[in-house]
Amino acid sequence: MKKSLVLLLSLIAVTSGLLAGCGGNNNNEGNNAAAGTNAPNNTAATNAPATEEPASAEPFEMTIRHTQVGADKQKRLAILQDVVNKVQEEVPGLTFKLDGVDSDVNRKEKLRGEMAAGNPPEVFDLFGSPDSKIYAKEGKLLDLTPILEELGIMDKFSNLDPFTYEGKIYGLPIGGSGEGFFYNKEYYASKGWSAPATFADLEKQLADIKADGKVPLAGASKAGWVPLMLANHLWSRYAGPDVTAKFATGEAKWSDPNVVKGFAKYREWVDNGYFKKGELGFEYAEYTTQFTSGEAILMYDGTWKSSVFKEGQSGEGLIGKVGFFNIPPVDGGVGDQTALMRDVNNGYGFSATAGEDERQLAAVKSFIKNMYNEEMQLRGLVEDGVLPAMKLDQSVLDANITDDLMKEIVAVLNSSASSFPAFDSLVQADVTTEISNIQIQKLIGGQTTPEKMGEALQKVQEEANAAVE
Amino acid sequence: MNKALRSPLVFILFVIPALVLFLMFFIYPIFSSLYYSLTSWNGVSETVKYTGFDNYTKALGDERFWVSVKNNGCFILFSVFIQVPLIVFFSLLIANVKKLKGLYKTAVFMPSIMSTAVIGILWGFIYEPNIGLFNNILGLFGIEPVYWLSDERFAMLSILITNAWQWTGFYIVMVLAAILAIPRELEEAAAIDGATGFQRATRITLPLIVPIISVVIMLSIAGAMKAADIVIVMTKGGPAGSTEVMATYMIKYAITNFKYGYGNTIAVLIFVFTLVVTVLYQLLFARRSERIEY
């Protein structure tokens, strides 16, 4: 009896402790909320001609939702942390609360729920197209145009299209990426090869690697976007770099013969056994492992992957042994055959409510000023392998890039005459779902033909286009 | 005290908190889902456009939705016809062991307290085509590697096996509790009468635990209808949508695409289908086995 009583009391004590812990957070939020609600009064007071600092130094908190979670993103997190420290120094009373969430969870679940409920964090990781446009249309995002003009960095960005809605800018890309082939230089050297200059050379190399008993191309297609990186580049080579942008306007069709040629080439490579068998069951992490372990000789991936080939990372063993090249021109291909697939679709957005509070607005301005400058962009490039989203002088780049792989990547970027964004920022979400979750996996699994794939996609595309109209 | 409880006002006061919670967290979400299922709400907008039964027509006319319904059906059939007999079999075995009963109970219960994500990774290794346990065993007999998670002939089966492994122990503990609650005299009397172990299990124990088996089947059906996490972790609904279930279909084709109206439609359909299956089960089987008289 006594024992039961002690147990019961302990349980009550632990539960109370837990509840108190949870309550503590709420209290903080409550205080912050109170601070937030007081803020307009404070700012109203400080709006008076003689602005008094002490009044605005009252503590207030803002949340930054970031996606720098996991070992591979520690360098990016360190950059963010440095920016946070600088902003906190500049804005009296400000404390930033860092809320790290997995990128996919943030994008597809958490942020959407918060947007619907009207309580997103003040600063958050944001996808450009289509997410930022949908949120901007609903008035959920802070218009950054006046801030960029005030800071004088309006024209410093390479491309803000994914974050632009009705001429206004609602988000800023943190970096850019380009996609191409990473290749094992050591293996290539042992064969006396160099990066292929023609498509025929590339195919010859793939066949020879296969004959050598190695896996020519890393493959992990459990998530459809992974094989679609290469497939997207292939259909853009055959049908032109601008073809994907024309699907949503009806100017081009997925079933066009040149687009189908791209699907057919991918299927041909699958049939030739150029990808690791069983790829439909492998996660993206396995993709990298196939390459870093030396099992696969080539890996088609984004330039962000270069960060893996640094000290202390999973590809450490391949430092200095990895090269990068663009897909060579294809015979009969349409348009610029040097075009590179490049994206600037991920960055930071700010809640519209942050614009209603003068102190929060000051914090947003300070955050943008400290995050989007030459120093931070270079740190992103050098430490994390993320291409700058802002225009940087070539001499500055040359002076800062010491990594051989990064030098090769920059050379590839410079040698491509044009670029095009990935399909998922150009077509409607329904089409993305269809090609990512069904059609590309059917093509790999041999359950559809390139022609049928084109027709199926075109059907979904037409429905999506009609829905927009 | 009794006098107080006889007063309707006091009675209502006691009931109100529970009622409010029930209305807030059960009735309101159902009606809210029903409302949004008739709209084309994008999940963000403050304006909601009424579209009538368009979403329902779309869902019921979508071949992929029916693939997911069929896969939920596979979950139910696998649970009822393979998992439940195994649960009963192992429960009977564990109930009759003389030593280390606690160890067996803990061992079988363990998977049900593990996170689905961990189980997904664990079984991912077991199913791995090159170094996985299953293919290594098959290799001993000269059988070619099977691509468990990437071949659509085996992907669903692989998920069902993993799901069964995760939850079997939980149900075994439930059934075991029922077996151990049976008065020992019954078994002893049967043993004195010369009944063998098998006869005692099938003629005495089994009929007496039918009500708990019925509950296990009910819970399995409900669990099967809302399965999602194990599918997401193991195959993401692939390859090519072949392992999609209704809940993952809802996430992939509605929520991810800013179609919350359509997502609510699928949620309502999951609710309706689950209700129909469980009511049918109750009417056809469960009611007959509710009471046991010693």
Q: Does B43 touch chain A (CB under 8 A)?
A: yes
**pLDDT averaged over every residue in chain A:** 87
> Given pLDDT bands bounded at 50, 70 and 90, which one contains residue A20?
low
The answer, as to whether pTM is greater than 0.90, is no
Mean pLDDT over residues A33-40, rounded? 37
> Given pLDDT bands bounded at 50, 70 and 90, which one contains residue A107?
confident
- 3-state SS assignment for residue A102: coil
CA distance A293 to A425: 32
Mean pLDDT over residues A383-390, rounded? 86
- 3-state SS assignment for residue A104: helix
Please, what is the angle between helix B101-113 and helix B84-95, to 10°? 150
Please, what is the angle between helix B63-78 and helix B210-225, to 10°? 160
What dihedral angle (degrees, nearest 10) is formed by the CA atoms of B228, B229, B230, B236?
80
Write down the pLDDT at residue A44. 35
- For residue B185, pLDDT beyond 50: yes
Nearest-by-CA chain B residue for A107: B256
- Chain B residues with CB under 8 Å of A429 CB are 256-258
Write down the pLDDT at residue A249. 93
Q: Does A407 touch chain B (CB under 8 A)?
A: no
Of A273, A253, A228, A264, nearest in space to A424 by CA = A228
Write down the pLDDT at residue A158. 86
Write down the pLDDT at residue A76. 87
B238: nearest CB among A135, A278, A437: A437
Choice among A426-435, B2-11, B223-232, B255-264 with the minimum mean pLDDT: B2-11
Distance from the A61 Cα atom to the nearest Cα atom in chain B, whole angstroms? 25
Q: Report the residue of A438, A457, A459 to disrupt the B interface, i.e. the one with the largest count of B CBs within 10 Å.
A: A438
Which residue shows structure tokens 């291409």? A387
> Given pLDDT bands bounded at 50, 70 and 90, which one contains residue A468?
low
Residues near A72 by beta carbon (within 8 Å), at least 6 away in sequence: A307, A308, A313, A314
Choice among A22-31, A305-314, B243-252 with the minimum mean pLDDT: A22-31
Distance from the B241 Cα atom to the nearest Cα atom in chain A, whole angstroms? 6
What dihedral angle (degrees, nearest 10) is formed by the CA atoms of A406, A408, A413, A415?
160
Do the Cβ atoms of B44 and A429 come within 8 Å?
Answer: no
Mean pLDDT over residues A353-378, rounded? 93
- For residue A90, pLDDT beyond 80: yes
Distance from the A181 Cα atom to the nearest Cα atom in chain B, whole angstroms? 25
- For residue A362, pLDDT beyond 90: yes
Burial B95-133 (b: 16+ CB within 10 A, else e): beeeeeeeebbeebbebbeeebeebbeebbebbbbeebe
Residues in chain A, overall count: 469
Q: Does A445 touch chain B (CB under 8 A)?
A: yes
- 3-state SS assignment for residue B7: coil
> Given pLDDT bands bounded at 50, 70 and 90, which one contains residue A215?
very high
% of chain A exceeding 90 in pLDDT: 60
Nearest-by-CA chain A residue for B45: A138
Complex ipTM: 0.81
CA distance A421 to B272: 42
Write down the pLDDT at residue A38. 38
- For residue A94, pLDDT beyond 50: yes
Of A250, A448, A441, A422, nearest in space to A342 by CA = A422
Burial B12-33 (b: 16+ CB within 10 A, else e): eeeeeeeeeeeeeeeeeeeeeb
Q: Does B257 touch chain A (CB under 8 A)?
A: yes
**pLDDT averaged over every residue in chain B:** 90
- For residue A6, pLDDT beyond 70: no
Angle at A247 between CA A243 and CA A251, to 5 degrees: 80
Do the Cβ atoms of A280 and B64 come within 8 Å?
Answer: no
Distance from the A116 Cα atom to the nearest Cα atom in chain B, whole angstroms? 4
Is residue B256 a contact partner of residue A111, using CB atoms and an 8 Å limit? no
CA distance A179 to A241: 13
pLDDT in tens, B17-74: 999 999 999 999 999 999 999 999 988 888 889 999 999 999 999 999 999 999 999 9
**DSSP percent split of chain A into helix, strand, coil, nearest 5:** 55, 15, 30
- Chain B residues with CB under 8 Å of A273 CB are none
Hey, what domains does chain B have and what are their CATH numbers?
40-113+157-293 (1.10.3720.10)
CA distance A110 to A132: 15
B150: nearest CB among A223, A279, A442: A279
pLDDT in tens, A110-143: 898 888 888 999 999 999 888 898 899 989 999 9
% of chain B exceeding 90 in pLDDT: 60
Q: Specify the higher pLDDT residue, A166 or B187.
A: A166
Q: Report the residue of A134, A287, A290, A437 to disrupt the B interface, i.e. the one with the largest count of B CBs within 10 Å.
A: A437
A280: nearest CB among B127, B150, B258: B150
Q: Does B223 touch chain A (CB under 8 A)?
A: no
Of B116, B118, B158, B156, nearest in space to B135 by CA = B158
Structure tokens, B2: 């009794």
- Chain A residues with CB under 8 Å of B150 CB are 222, 278-282, 445
Write down the pLDDT at residue A53. 45
What dihedral angle (degrees, nearest 10) is formed by the CA atoms of A412, A413, A418, A421?
110
Angle at A174 between CA A173 and CA A175, to 5 degrees: 95
CA distance A113 to A124: 13
Write down the pLDDT at residue A410. 87
Q: Specify the higher pLDDT residue, A229 or B99.
A: A229
Mean pLDDT over residues B203-207, rounded? 90
Do the Cβ atoms of B240 and A445 come within 8 Å?
Answer: yes
A437: nearest CB among B42, B43, B241: B241
Write down the pLDDT at residue A458. 97
